[in-house]
Structure 1
Amino acid sequence: MPVHDLALFVGAALLLNLTPGPDMLFVAGTGAARGRAAGLMAALGVGAGCLFHTLLAALGLSALLAASELAFNAVKWAGAAYLVWTGLQMLRARPAAASAEAPARRGGSPFWQGALTNALNPKVALFFLAFLPQFIDAGAPGQALALLALGSFFNIGGTAVNLVVALAASGAAAGLATRGGGGRLGAWLQRAAGALFIGLGVKLALSSR
């Protein structure tokens, strides 16, 4: 496989996955507002979205987003609209107390929300297109397989980190709820998560290549 500087890739991937970003904030917000099960499903959904981008990079389709302003903007606006719509739905939903076992379905499927939040972000596609090829020998055969392998490794690490974040956020929220005022806390967390989604949508809409 035409891969070089593997140790450097592993170190860089670890640091990047530990750096807070939109996906981690999404998982933390979902876990805190909707419970442990929802947070874990959100983390797995984000992983599915990253796998989608890995496949796009391996197939060479990510280059289309980098080369075509029309394609980039189409995906960007679709992703921004989805994030804002999801946030509004959470703001309008009836609040419930935070709990580690809160129903995962409140506010929609957390798995698909996580998957679409990631998959509809063209910035992720451009990141994979810029980051992964640095560790692959140019012109060597098997580049698609190398992209798939490196992207999958990066995704596994990111998913593991997000699963831990989901557990930590939901556990902290449930612990606070048991001290009293759980209903008010659940309402606040749900509104905060909704506002977070709207903010991410606006940020994506204002972004450029």
Structure 2
Amino acid sequence: MGVDFLLTALIVVIAPGTGVLYTLSVSLGRGLSPGLAAVVGCSFGIVPHLAAALLGLAAILHASAVAFQLVKYAGVIFLLWMAWKTLKETGTAGDGPEAPRGLVRIAVRGALINVLNPKLSIFFLAFLPQFVDPAAGNATAQMALLGLVFTVMTAAVFALYAVFAAAARSQILGNAAAMRWLRRVFAAAFGGLALRLASETR
């Protein structure tokens, strides 16, 4: 595993996307513990795509227009639902300890955000083989290790996003107008990501 892979993976992970947006939204709106639950969900949501790439299912998704469209529009609908839920939230949830059921719900939503993005499977299918060393043998094992490192890196970077967002939350928590506009911004961002996903092609 070379430095080139680590640097490239870090750039990909840091870049704003649905997972980053969801983590920031939850951390700012609810606090650190819910934000970390979002991190766990988003990270686990990567695993099915990694498995698909390793098993060759990503190639099927890439080749099949019907399969790609089904997963894509399921993701679009989910992102639009997330936009609506964010817009409808009221108050300053997260002032007290979050119930375990609430944390699980947050993690599940984070996982679904990534699971319902078909581009992730195709990304792994195209990205990981570039860093496989033929001389090292067992390309599948190498890809699995690279995917694991990518997932751990994602969790670490997203956790930093959650920590900083939760810290910034204290500055805006008492401002109802700021919280209201923040929800609108995140709702608009989820809606924008849904439109972008809808326009994606294989």
TM-score (structure 1 length as normaliser): 0.85
Conservation of the 8 A alpha-carbon contact between 1:90 and 1:193: yes
In the TM superposition, what is the alpha-carbon distance from 1:189 to its structure 2 partner?
2.5
Q: Give the deviation of 1:33 after TM superposition.
A: 2.0
Of the three residues 65, 70, 76, the one matched with 2:72 is: 76
Alpha carbons 1:98, 1:185 under 8 Å: kept: no
Unaligned runs of 5+ in 1: none
State the Cα distance separating 1:107 from its structure 2 match. Answer: 11
Retained in 1: the 8 A contact 2:53–2:124? yes
Over 3 Å counting, the alpha-carbon distance change for 1:51 and 1:156 in structure 2 is: same
Q: How far apart, in 2, do the equivalents of 1:188 and 1:107 lie?
A: 24
**Partner residue of 1:86?**
82
Match of 2:148 in 1: 152
Aligned-partner SS, 2:45: helix
- Out of 94, 105, 111, the residue aligned to residue 107 of structure 2 is 111
Which deviates more, 157-166 or 65-74? 65-74
Q: Could you tell me how far apart the structure 2 residues matched to 1:51 and 1:101 are?
A: 31
Q: Output the CA distance in 1 between the equivalents of 2:24 and 2:6.
A: 24
Aligned partners of 1:111, 1:49: CA distance in 2, in Å?
Answer: 9
Residue correspondences, number: 201
- Superposed counterparts of 1:101-180, under 5 Å: 103=98, 109-137=105-133, 141-177=137-173, 180=174
Gaps in structure 2 of 5+ consecutive residues: none
CA distance in 1, matches of 2:82, 2:93: 19
In angstroms, what is the RMSD of aligned CA positions?
2.5
Find the counterpart in structure 1 of residue 8 from structure 2.
12
Counterpart code for 2:82: T
Query: Contact 2:18–2:190 (CA<8 Å) still a contact in 1?
Result: no
Identical columns (%)? 36
Q: CA deviation at 1:194?
A: 2.5
The structure whose residues are more often helix, as a share, is 2
Within the candidate set 76, 91, 97, 2:92 is matched to 97
Q: Kindly indicate whether the alpha-carbon contact (under 8 Å) linking 2:18 and 2:113 is maintained by their aligned counterparts in 1.
A: no
Residue 187 of structure 1, aligned match among 180, 185, 193: 180
25-34 vs 107-116, greater mean Cα deviation? 107-116
Instruction: State the one-letter code of the partner of 1:97.
Output: T
Q: CA 1:21–1:53 in 2, change beyond 3 Å: closer, same or farther?
A: same
The answer to whether the Cα contact below 8 Å between 1:33 and 1:173 also exists between their aligned partners in 2 is yes
Match of 1:27 in 2: 23
Specify the alignment match of 1:200 in structure 2: 193
Q: Deviations over 1:11-67 (max 9, x none)?
A: 211222222233212211221122222211111111001122111111111111111
- Report if aligned partners of 1:47, 1:158 keep a CA contact under 8 Å in 2: yes
Q: TM-score, normalised by structure 2?
A: 0.88
Against the structure 1 CA distance between its residues 101 and 206, is the aligned structure 2 distance closer, same or farther, given a 3 Å change threshold? farther
